[in-house]
Structure 1
């Protein structure tokens, strides 16, 4: 586990280096099993295309979860996220041959009381924003 980030060591504007999260169809099938969301747009290419999608797409909540993972890995504490919200702006298209890559970065936007900070996240796939208004309130050591 990463060392815990200390509140005193973080300033407004502190950037959290980007991380790349590869996604393949196996990840989507595993997530479907864990979440109970077996919508075929997440695993059957012919169905996804029949409803107008370019290919299979990742679950929105799976994409959101990677943002949460990004923040908790940075904070060094899986219980650090106090509040977290996003808006879904574009789907993450997961091709059978190449999968997809989700690229997430962050920046400390505000420091609050009780050792908490607001982190604004940027999440992109294929150069396109897939999450907007993505913010996490994180309690630091």
Structure 2
């Protein structure tokens, strides 16, 4: 079972977003932008060049630019391609076999390609299971001292 094809539909506009129920604002010094699974495999489930993909990618790109302006780190998640069944565990039951071994299926969509980090390390994450993803192309967590 792979991803089903998803028909085009209009991206909801700002009026569809509920008002915040909390009084606080985002503090850029304590925030991060998480871009989750914006990989070709997932985005290709939608018709190319149509809503909601066009708006989704543009909105994420705008958020990334704003985050950069405000000094907010941008973190991408990416599901590994070509996982064996034993590596996917319970994901197989819900989402099927996952990303295949097609050359670009696991890549982040081109318009959102992560930018390289310049010697940035977050030592508190160095020993988590996500370290291989977080540190890829960044720095070697084994060199972190705190």
Task: Using structure 1 for the length normalisation, give the TM-score.
Answer: 0.25
Bigger relative contact order, structure 1 or 2 (CA pairs below 8 A, ≥6 apart): 1
**Normalising by structure 2, what TM-score?**
0.24
